[in-house]
Structure formats: structure tokens, C-alpha cells
Amino acid sequence: MVKNISFDDYLSQQLKNHEFMAGFNAESAKLEIAVVVLKERERAGLTQRELAERAGVLQSTIARIEHGHNTSFDTMSKIAFALGKKLKVEFT
């Protein structure tokens, strides 16, 4: 018989593995960036193309970021500036 386990319990168990935790944290950071860029772009009333033009990057770059792909600090800085924001990086 298979024991049922909640997702939260399963995740807690998996996060004890340092390799799993490193990958989980990396993916979480990319998704957090995706959500922030999407929300700030929408809050500014901009399309991906308009934000890209303001930031001096390709529209496909904005799309990739909003879909959770990795990007550079340089690109994120350009996007932040184009949105009238500052890029802040912190370790917590």
C-alpha cells in the first residue's frame, strides 16, 4: 500500500538534499523575476515590445524573462531603468 504524503511534506523532505535545494532556489529566483517583470510592465501599461524598446533589448528577451528564463544583471538593470525603478539585489 502506498502512503499518501502532502506536497508540503514531500517538499520539506526534498529540501534536505543540498543539490535539490540549490536547483529549487535557482528556479524560484527565476520565477520571482518573471513575476516581478510581468507585474511591473503591466502596472506601467506597457506591452513587451514597448518595454523592450525603452530598455534597448529585444521583445523576445522580455518574453523569455517573463517565462522564467535566466537573464543578466545588465539586462535587468536596463529593464528596471526603463520602468523608472532601481534594481536591488539582496541575499536573505
pLDDT tens by residue, 3-59: 899 999 999 999 999 999 999 999 999 999 999 999 999 999 999 999 999 999 999
Could you tell me the maximum CA-CA distance found in the chain, to the nearest angstrom?
A: 58
d(CA 31, CA 21): 15
Q: Which three cell numbers stand for residue 81?
A: 531603468
pLDDT value at residue 91? 86
C-alpha cell at 52: 523592450
Distance in angstroms (rounded) separating the CA atoms of residues 52 and 32: 19
Dihedral angle, C-alpha 35, 46, 84, 28, nearest 10 °: 10
pTM of the model: 0.81
For the record, the C-alpha cell of 73 comes out as: 544583471
pLDDT (tens digit, 9 = 90+) per residue, 51-90? Answer: 999 999 999 999 999 999 999 999 999 999 999 999 998 8
> Domain 7-82 is in which class?
mainly alpha
